[in-house]
């Protein structure tokens, strides 16, 4: 084994930030890049967060795809480690993109607003992390504003997320009274320098004169010392429990005031796991692919149409799982389609660079003409197939109706292409010629509608069909499944892989069908294999 193949994966950390909109994800991202020296000037990322706030701006960004392509992955270095931060779209509306991005992350930072605690989207994103038991580091943000009592926040996390919570730091008040945080392991206090004071946040030992200077308010000091003692009563941090996704360490800070951000990066450096082995099928056998395995392998977790609308170029975001990738290498999909990767792109905060070599934990962008779909496995032998990029049962279904019926073939191609890219899902009903598109969030439908119009020039009405939801079907006995499919032809459809899907008017209908057919599984997720 080459030395680099052994050591490089140990230096990679792949993580994502999950949060409810406005909790401060963009600000934190920017200040992480600043703190690590990856960018030198504020404003780059924030401008993006700002522009995203309205849907029309978001659509514009989506159309000028270059911008979001380069920001989907951000790489920075710190303490000799390479961090790949995967961007989960920060829109109020939920999309499958977010789910899929999380399947490529090894760790997540959960950002909470100290005044708001767990919000609806935090919960949704957390549930996705839980599907894979991704370890989570909690960052409670905006301590420079009045917040909820941290003990109550911890109880809320414990109760709503069923996680063991360990504060690694404890804050001295919040808002106007905020003085800083104590590191409960080292007993050092990080004093908060008031904005515009010209001071810097500095570390001070908890006892001695220096700390006295930070606390000109005796009552506050008393309150804080008591609370910090109580905070020590929480269980000790247990790395194994964290890695298994059962325990979350909690940090406090203010992204906007650059307070606690470096400490958070240090926590990631210390605790976020290096790339791990991934389960896969190799030539039909269950195997574990280790980062140090010689064969290059990985999977595509995101596909994005390229800037040039005249060419249907796409960039596939490929998360490496094993091997030593070299530019120009020939890789194959699990269906045997080969492609030579001559122009792989790596994403640094402000630039894109050609990737000469890459290892497990790296994310490279592979330009292609539609060969690579979301969920596709790509390896040297073409025999490795990773599980784990799920499709989610759509919560919104629409029937596509053409204004010009002669364009049916074009529409089918367009919808198939968008489904391959993962923009929306596509279902072809067993009866009738209409096609049904599905999405988890309504923004996906808007993006699709816009792209059908601008890229494909098709006039299409999207109508509400007589179904509301869909389930993938599975059964250990093929004959039972076939009988069910034949009997329920009016409700049956095929997805883009030809797998059977049951379209239902309501979840009550699904419950009823399930009760009548106990050996058939009605699945809300499907893992692409």
- Least Å distance, CB 48 to ligand G4P, is 9
390 binds ligand G4P (CB under 6 A): no
Residue 161 annotated as lining a ligand binding site: no
**Contact string 36-55 vs ligand G4P (x = CB under 6 A):** ----------x--xx-----
- Least Å distance, CB 189 to ligand G4P, is 19
Cβ contacts of residue 28 below 8 Å, gap of 6+? 17, 109, 111, 139, 141, 255, 261, 264
Q: Per-residue DSSP letters for 248-273?
A: EEEEE-BTTTTBSHHHHHHHHHHHSP
CB nearer to ligand G4P: give 60 or 453.
60
Cβ contacts of residue 23 below 8 Å, gap of 6+? 111, 112, 113, 116, 119, 122, 141, 142
333 binds ligand G4P (CB under 6 A): no
Neighbours of 238 (CB within 10 A): 14
3-class SS of residue 460:
strand
- DSSP for residue 256: T
Residue 142 annotated as lining a ligand binding site: yes
273 binds ligand G4P (CB under 6 A): no
Neighbours of 265 (CB within 10 A): 22
Residue 88 annotated as lining a ligand binding site: yes
- Least Å distance, CB 421 to ligand G4P, is 25
Residue with tokens 């961090």: 83
CB nearer to ligand G4P: give 115 or 131.
115
171 binds ligand G4P (CB under 6 A): no
Q: How many angstroms separate the CA atoms of 161 and 497, rounded?
A: 34
Restricting to residues 85-104, name those near ligand G4P by CB under 6 A.
90
469 binds ligand G4P (CB under 6 A): no
Residue 526 annotated as lining a ligand binding site: no
Over its C-alpha atoms, the chain yields an Rg (Å, rounded) of: 25
3-class SS of residue 324:
coil
CB nearer to ligand G4P: give 32 or 341.
32
- Least Å distance, CB 385 to ligand G4P, is 35
**Contact string 13-32 vs ligand G4P (x = CB under 6 A):** ------x-xxxxxxx-----
Task: Select the span of 255-263, 322-330, 390-398, 454-462 touching ligand G4P (CB under 6 A).
Answer: 255-263
- Select the residue interacting with ligand G4P from 255, 280, 360, 437 (CB under 6 A): 255
CB nearer to ligand G4P: give 261 or 378.
261
- DSSP for residue 254: B
The H or E element containing residue 62 is helix 55-63
- Least Å distance, CB 374 to ligand G4P, is 24
CB nearer to ligand G4P: give 142 or 471.
142
- DSSP for residue 443: H
Residue 141 annotated as lining a ligand binding site: yes
Q: How many angstroms separate the CA atoms of 17 and 255, rounded?
A: 13
121 binds ligand G4P (CB under 6 A): no
Q: Which two tokens stand for residue 475?
A: 């059964």
**Residues forming a β-bridge with 365:** 317, 345
Query: Which residues contact ligand G4P (rule: CB under 6 A)?
Result: 19, 21-27, 46, 49-50, 90, 141-142, 144-145, 254-257
Residues contributing to the annotated binding site? 19-26, 87-91, 141-144
């Amino acid at each position: 084994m080459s030395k680099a193949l052994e050591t490089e994966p140990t230096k990679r950390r792949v993580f994502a930030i999950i949060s409810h909109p406005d909790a401060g994800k963009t600000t934190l991202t920017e200040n992480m890049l600043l703190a690590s020296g990856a960018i030198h000037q504020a404003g780059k990322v924030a401008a993006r967060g700002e522009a995203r706030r309205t849907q029309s701006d978001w659509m514009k960004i989506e159309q000028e795809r270059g911008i979001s392509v380069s920001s989907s992955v951000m790489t920075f270095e710190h303490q000799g480690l390479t961090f790949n931060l995967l961007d989960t779209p920060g829109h109020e509306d939920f999309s499958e993109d977010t789910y899929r991005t999380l399947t490529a992350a090894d760790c997540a930072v959960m950002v909470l607003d100290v005044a708001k605690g767990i919000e609806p989207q935090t919960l949704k994103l957390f549930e996705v992390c839980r599907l894979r038991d991704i370890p989570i580091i909690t960052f409670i943000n905006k301590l420079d504003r009045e917040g909820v009592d941290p003990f109550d926040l911890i109880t809320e996390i414990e109760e709503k997320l069923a996680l063991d919570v360990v504060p690694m730091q404890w804050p001295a008040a919040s808002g106007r009274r905020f003085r800083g945080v104590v590191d409960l392991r080292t007993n050092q206090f990080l004093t908060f320098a008031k904005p515009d004071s010209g001071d810097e946040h500095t570390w001070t030992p908890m006892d001695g004169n220096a700390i006295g200077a930070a606390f000109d308010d005796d009552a506050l000091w008393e309150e804080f010392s008591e609370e910090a003692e109580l905070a020590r009563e929480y269980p000790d941090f247990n790395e194994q429990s964290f890695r298994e996704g059962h325990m979350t360490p909690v940090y406090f800070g203010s992204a906007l005031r650059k307070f606690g951000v470096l400490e958070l990066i240090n926590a990631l450096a210390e605790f976020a796991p290096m790339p791990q082995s991934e389960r896969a099928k190799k030539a039909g056998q269950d195997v574990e692919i280790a980062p140090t395995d010689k064969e290059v392998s990985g999977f595509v977790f995101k596909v994005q149409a390229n800037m040039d609308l005249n060419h249907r170029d796409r960039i596939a975001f490929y998360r490496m799982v094993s091997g030593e990738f070299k530019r120009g290498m020939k890789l194959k999909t699990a269906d045997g389609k080969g492609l030579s990767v001559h122009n792989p792109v790596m994403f640094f905060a402000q630039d894109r660079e050609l990737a000469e070599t890459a290892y497990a934990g790296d994310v490279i962008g592979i330009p292609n003409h539609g060969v690579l779909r979301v969920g596709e496995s790509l390896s040297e032998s073409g025999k490795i197939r990773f599980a784990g990029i799920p499709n989610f049962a759509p919560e919104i279904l629409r029937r596509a109706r053409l204004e010009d019926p002669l364009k049916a073939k074009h529409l089918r191609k367009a919808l198939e292409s968008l489904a391959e890219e993962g923009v929306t899902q596509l279902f072809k009903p067993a009866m009738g010629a209409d096609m049904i598109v599905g999405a988890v969030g309504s923004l996906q439908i808007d993006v699709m509608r816009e792209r059908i119009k601008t890229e494909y020039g098709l006039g299409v009405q999207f109508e509400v069909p007589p179904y509301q939801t869909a389930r993938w079907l599975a059964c250990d006995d093929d004959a039972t499944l076939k009988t069910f499919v034949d009997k329920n032809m009016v409700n049956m459809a095929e997805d883009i892989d030809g797998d059977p899907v049951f379209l239902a008017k309501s979840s009550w209908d699904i419950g009823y069908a399930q009760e009548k057919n106990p050996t058939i599984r009605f699945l809300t997720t499907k893992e692409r294999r």
